[in-house]
Amino acid sequence: MNEERPVAAEADMVARLVQLNERSCQLLGRSFMKRLDEVAGASFSLMPPEAVSRTFQEFGTQLLSDPLRIAQAQASFWRDSFALWHNVIEGHRDGRLEPVFPPNPADRRFKDKAWTEDPAFVYVQQSYFLMANWMQNLVDKAADADPSAKQRLKFYTRQYLSAMAPSNFPLTNPEVLRKASDTDGRSLLDGLERFLDDLERGDGHLRIRMTDEAKFSLGHNIATTPGQVVFRNDLIELIQYAPTTPSVYRHPVLIVPPWINKYYILDLQPKNSLVGFLVARGFTVFLISWVNPTADAASKRFEDYLREGPLAALDAMEAAIGAEPVNIMGFCIGGILTATGLAHLAATGRANRIASASLLATFFDFTDVGEVGVFVDDAQVTAMEAHTKETGFLAGRHMADMFSMLRENDLIWSFFVNNYLLAKEPAAFDLLYWNGDTTRLPAAMLSDYLRNFYLGNAFARPGSFTVLGTPIDTRKIEVPTYALATKEDHIAPWRSCFPATQQLRGPVRFVLGGSGHVAGIINQATSIKYGYWTNDTPSPSADAWLDSATAHQGSWWVDWAAWLNQHGGEEVPARDPRTGRLKPLGDAPGTYVRLRAEGTDA
């Protein structure tokens, strides 16, 4: 009987291998054809193979023109290689394996003990660091007069080096080898099956599962703050949240979230809901939930998002609770739209509709857009326009891929190893569930946004961009403004947000939060993890501001709430959206937020 079990297990393994082989041939073939289309330029890619190839060819030509530099680089590489080999041999003999290239403590790829204790894996890891450091130094010293070309070269090199890390391959990852041995190879088969599942979900594009999506349900354990949809048009549903205090501030809050992702980043779970935080502090909160557009919205322009978004919401709020000045808050591209709207209202003599403005992670100068600039130049925008002219929109996966590549080891390769090589189930994490709930971007709006802001730097060039018949000049904005940026933001670099202090005419409180674009914003009031900086002294530059800024523990939410209280007006009886002047159209979170990208992405 004991002999029959291994035989049966082996038969199951063989049958499974046959099945996986058939699936692999089908799905990898489909994926390969899509890659061929990208190489041939027949389909759109944010990182087109032709551009990558051209970048490295130009770098190679530059190197060949300087033989002395090549010789010096090669000599340095061989010298360091010999020193590494000698260090590993001597260290193994003495029982002390001191790394020549110590890994960054924040680098989670090499946490397994074997990377520092097993001579073979020490050598593999250190050889990788030697090669990576050598290549990066070579690239850093590249003499290129074009900063954008240099940035592309550095970015593409980093993507290559991250992909080639020994931790990403079964035979050079000690943890993967141990688990494969412990499970008789089943972990590798399980991982392959998950890889094929994700490839199938993405229709030939790998859609890595970053979290256990089955653990989340909108309106049940995420986006749960009670409220009612009180207005709807082609682009937005307007949610009015139910009060939790007997009285509220007279002046309500209107939140304008980004439409590159779903709004509920601001209403994840009760403990980290910015919406719930405001409601609990006595504010009547309205929030825009953007539709996930299809090709039918291809002609919607940036100014349509302003007219049918914040401006329509202001009219609906007036119909719901009366004519009250509004405290408006915009986040990311929602902040850019909000600032555009403020300039438009000022130009048309309607600035009195706004009591205050809060702009989170909002660009005011696009001179330095960080690594996002790798994906946005005139050639890329032209290619994107040609693609969206055919499809009507840019698929959500493109934006998701771009943001992932900005932090590739955290958002791509860590999941590749855990999901496919170790066959681990991804943890249930609300931020990553939201991150995977992608949205499409209409063709006309995307072109307007990229050409007028990323390429045209509209806020820094007053009057260069006209919206709804008015040239946009942020110097006409006089409302009190709270401008927040985050120190490690890789999407909206904080120094590019700081010019709000110079461009806006009204009083500006600039605050710098810790962490990055998402975690730094969703830093709940009870958190002491990141902290924030303030400085009430006017400063000529971002660096001068930071040099004399005061550091604070805790969340910027508390500082913002204290500032917002000053613009709330007197207290009035709480406003219940179920009994307001506008007939409720349904419970929050509404219907638009439930429109997912699956099945319709190009």
Any idea which residues carry the catalytic annotation?
332
Other beta carbons less than 10 A from residue 366's beta carbon: 23
d(CA 443, CA 27): 30
b/e per residue 138-153 (b: at least 16 CB within 10 A): bbeebeeeeeebbebb
Q: How far is C-alpha 93 from the geometric centre of its chain's CA atoms?
A: 47
Residue pointed to by tokens 């890891």: 125
Q: What's the sign of the alpha-carbon dihedral 296, 299, 300, 304?
A: negative
Q: Which residues pair with 327 in a beta bridge?
A: 253, 356
CA distances from 274 to 171, 225, 526, 534, 567 (A): 45, 10, 12, 20, 18
Run of H or E residues at 561: helix 556-565
Contact 318, 480 (CB under 8 A): no
CA distances from 549 to 66, 252, 360, 503, 541 (A): 46, 31, 19, 20, 12
| Helices and strands per DSSP (H, E), number in the chain | 22, 17
Q: Which residues pair with 253 in a beta bridge?
A: 285, 327
The one-letter amino acid at 123:
Y
Contact 444, 384 (CB under 8 A): no
Work out whether strand 247-249 and strand 236-241 pair parallel, antiparallel, or are unpaired. Answer: unpaired
d(CA 26, CA 4): 34
How far the first Cα of the chain sits from its last, in Å, is 54
d(CA 490, CA 332): 12
Residue 75, classified by CB atoms within 10 Å of its CB into exposed (0-12), middle (13-18) or buried (19+), is exposed
Q: Which residues pair with 357 in a beta bridge?
A: 328, 481
